Copies of this chain bind each other. A is one copy, B any other.
Amino acid sequence: MPPTPRQAEILDCAAELVAESGLAQLTMKRLAERVGFTEPALYRHYPGKSALLAAMIERLGGRLLPTMEEIAGDRRLTPRERLLGMVRHHVALLRATRGLPILFLAEGLASGDRDLMASVGGVMRRYLALLGVVTAELGPAGGVSADRQALLFLGLPAAIGIQLRAFPDLALSDEETELIVQHYVRSLTLPAAPAPEKSS
């Protein structure tokens, strides 16, 4: 069930509003104004706000997951290359959407809304599973099992997302971003690293 043209227009406006001023500013009234008609008209296109949010998340997932699956399954690439490609794509999506995914996650965490967290969590779990498939090929590193390592590759996108929304003054250029992504994935996929000195 792909969105109708009108639904797509609504989703576009909703994403704009959220990118501009956060999810709390996405009220049905403000969204209707942005689209250019009145509040009750929105309910002709979506049965309620949670359906609207779910559609937004599904749309984001559609921009994230298929490419992820493609990269994760590309056996011409080494596991390291695949992880690099996956993190790169995730970060690129974050930057292109001004941190939209992390805003949905933030809203889910802050509100405790079950449905919302189920939508967001569903996408994230599939993402983590894909990472886990690839880290499994690398094997455990530093005593950390493959599926725990997958969590680590969530770390950089999370940090980038936080920077985007909370510290826009620390903006990273495309080049800096690419360097950081490479440095990050490269470092975390080294076959063996020397043990650090014990801390007190």
A30 CB to nearest B CB, Å = 12
Q: How far is the CA of A103 from the CA of B107 in the complex (A)?
A: 10
Binds B, one of A5-13, A43-51, A56-64, A183-191: A183-191
Contact: A179 with B143, CB < 8 Å? yes
Band of interface residues on A: 35 or more
Contact: A166 with B120, CB < 8 Å? yes
Within 8 A of B (CB), among A41-82: 77-78, 80-81
A88 within 8 A of B: yes
Contact: A193 with B190, CB < 8 Å? yes
Contact: A148 with B180, CB < 8 Å? yes
A145 CB to nearest B CB, Å = 8
Of B112, B121, B141, B185, the contact of A25 (CB 8 Å cutoff): B112
Q: How far is the CA of A199 from the CA of B72 in the complex (A)?
A: 13
* A158-169 vs B, Cβ < 8 Å mask (1 yes, 0 no): 111011011100
Q: How far is the CA of A180 from the CA of B144 in the complex (A)?
A: 6
Of B25, B109, B148, B170, the contact of A106 (CB 8 Å cutoff): B109
Contact: B162 with A110, CB < 8 Å? no
Contact: A84 with B196, CB < 8 Å? yes
Contact: A102 with B109, CB < 8 Å? yes
Q: Which residues of chain A have a CB within 8 Å of any CB of chain B?
A: 21-25, 77-78, 80-81, 84-85, 88, 102-103, 105-113, 117, 120-121, 124-125, 141-144, 148, 151-152, 154-156, 158-160, 162-163, 165-167, 170, 172, 176, 179-180, 182-190, 193-200
